[in-house]
Amino acid sequence: MKLLISKSNFAFFLLAISGLLFSVFSYYILPEKYFWDSNTIINNDHGFTGLMGSFPFSIWFYKVTGLKYLSREIIAIIQYSILVYLLYKIGISKDLHKFLLKNIIIYLMFLMLAIYVAVPSKEFINYIYISFIVFFVIKRKTNIGKTIFISIFLMIFFSWFFRPYYFIIAIIAFFMYIMSYIKIKNYKTATILYGLLLLIFISLSYGVIKGEFISEQTRDVVNNSRMGEDYAKTIIKPPLENDTWYGESISVIHGFFSVNLPVNGLRHFLSPQIVIFILWQLILFYILIRKYEKSIREGKRNNYELWLFYILFSYFIVQGVFEPDLGSALRHKASVFPIIYYLLNYESFRKKAK
Q: What is the reported pLDDT for 225? A: 64
DSSP 270: T
Tell me, what's the pLDDT at 354? 55
Let me know how many helices (H) and strands (E) the chain has, helices first: 17, 0
Residues sharing a CB contact under 8 Å with residue 339, sequence separation 6 or more, in sequence order: 130, 133, 134, 308, 311, 312, 315
Cα 9 to Cα 4: distance, rounded to the nearest angstrom:
10
pLDDT at residue 1 in the model: 44
H/E stretch holding 92 reads none
pLDDT below 70 — which residues of the chain?
A: 1-3, 45-47, 221-232, 351-354
Burial environment of residue 56 by CB neighbours within 10 A (0 to 12, 13 to 18, 19 or more): middle
Q: Which helix (DSSP H) or strand (DSSP E) does residue 57 occupy?
A: helix 54-64
Q: What are the φ/ψ torsions at residue 235 (nearest 5 degrees)? A: -60, 150
Question: So what's the pLDDT on residue 318?
Answer: 94
Which alpha helices (DSSP H) does 184-325 contain, by range? 187-210, 214-217, 219-224, 245-260, 272-297, 304-322
Its pTM stands at 0.93
Task: Tell me how far apart the alpha carbons of residues 174 and 170 are, in angstroms, rounded to a whole number.
Answer: 6
